[in-house]
Structure formats: structure tokens, C-alpha cells
Amino acid sequence: MLEKYIEKELISEQEIKAQVKKLANIITEEHKDHDNVLLVGVLTGAFIFTSDLMRELDIPCVVDFISASSYGSGTESSGNVVIAKDIKESVRGKHVIICEELIDTGNTLQALKRWFARQEAESVKICALLNKEERRQVDIHSDYPVIEIPNEFVVGYGLDYAGKFRNYKCVCVLKKEVYEK
């Protein structure tokens, strides 16, 4: 049913699973002596990535979610990022890992990184699954390996179009007709 809207698959379910496992192994090794790791998923897109990553981690950790929105023209991200919903957990003294499914301009993560650094986190790292390098506007990068994708609008694995299509297990490009409706 849902498959009929897909123009092309960019990243398969298997590739995503392998990458999540790889990231989890690196983070587990890095934090094997820590019991104060806080995963912060960036809503809404990163809810699937954050939960899949957490289940592969072999260390005690806490999860929370934050929501940031940028005010700009339409769907384009702008530099004016505000925190729309903060986390409930205290950040002080924690090893914070911000989980983001895709870095585009980098504006959101730049604002979030500054937000957590101000709250005296022990460390603040960015863990992103996907990266659109050519779209970057600010000096922000994932602290772990990423899957590079071309400059195309993608959906799936948490990423939406008009709130839908987050439930694809792969990352894909939609058929043009979907946007013309």
C-alpha cells in the first residue's frame, strides 16, 4: 500500500540497521565507564532513530526528547531556532548525546548544542544518522560516522512530508504526484 508513493529508495532498512548498530558500538565503547549518559532525541523526526539506537546501546542510559523550531520562510530552515519543548531531565554533569536523524543546514543542532553547553553538561555530542553536507550553513557536524545523502527531499525512518510517511523502514524520495495533491 504505502510502497506505491515511493519514487526511489535511497537508504535501505538493512543499511540503516547496520549503521545504527555501528553507532551504538562506538557510543557503548566511548561511555563504558559512565553511568550518566543522556540521549536527547530531536522531535519529531528522530523518535525512531533515538529508540533504535538506545536499544542497541549496552550501557545504562536515560532518554528524553526536545523540540526545536526555526522561524523562516515556509519549509526552509532559518538561523532563528527556538526551543519549543525542553527536556524534563537535568543536563548538569551528564554526557549528553543529541540524536538527530538528518543534518541539513545545521541550524537546529547548532542552537541545541549551545543550549545544552550553557547548562553545564559534562559533554555534548551529536549523533546523526544522515547528512546532507552540501546544504550546510553553519560549522556543525556529527561526532560519529554518518550516511551521506544527496540534496533531495527525503522521507521515511522518522522523516515526514506533511506529517506522513515517517513509518517507512527505508529512507526514500516520494513520487512527484504526492506533492501535487
Binding site for Mg ion (CB under 5 A): 42, 45
| CB of 50 vs ligand 5GP, minimal distance in Å | 12
Catalytic residue positions, numbered? 104
Q: Using the minimum distance from each CB to ligand 5GP, give the nearer residue, 24 or 46.
A: 46
Q: Using the minimum distance from each CB to ligand 5GP, give the nearer residue, 68 or 91.
A: 68
Residue 77, binding choice from Mg ion, ligand 5GP, none, Cβ under 5 to 8 Å by partner class: ligand 5GP
User: Interface with ligand 5GP by CB under 6 A: which residues?
Assistant: 45, 77, 100-108, 153-155, 159-161
Distance CA 9, CA 55 (A): 25
- Burial class of residue 99, CB neighbours in 10 A (0-12, 13-18, 19+): buried
| CB of 68 vs ligand 5GP, minimal distance in Å | 8
| CB of 80 vs ligand 5GP, minimal distance in Å | 11
Please compute, for residue 54, the number of CA atoms within 13 A of its CA located in the half-sphere on the CB side. 21
Which DSSP helix (H) or strand (E) runs through 28? helix 13-30
Residue 155, binding choice from Mg ion, ligand 5GP, none, Cβ under 5 to 8 Å by partner class: ligand 5GP
Q: By the 8 A CB rule, do 106 and 91 touch?
A: no
DSSP lists the bridge partners of residue 6 as 174
Residue type for 13, please? E
Give the phi and the psi of residue 49 in degrees, each rounded to 5.
-60, -45
Q: Using the minimum distance from each CB to ligand 5GP, give the nearer residue, 30 or 160.
A: 160
Q: Using the minimum distance from each CB to Mg ion, give the nearer residue, 45 or 156.
A: 45
Q: Look up residue 112 and give its three cell numbers.
A: 541545541
| CB of 1 vs Mg ion, minimal distance in Å | 26
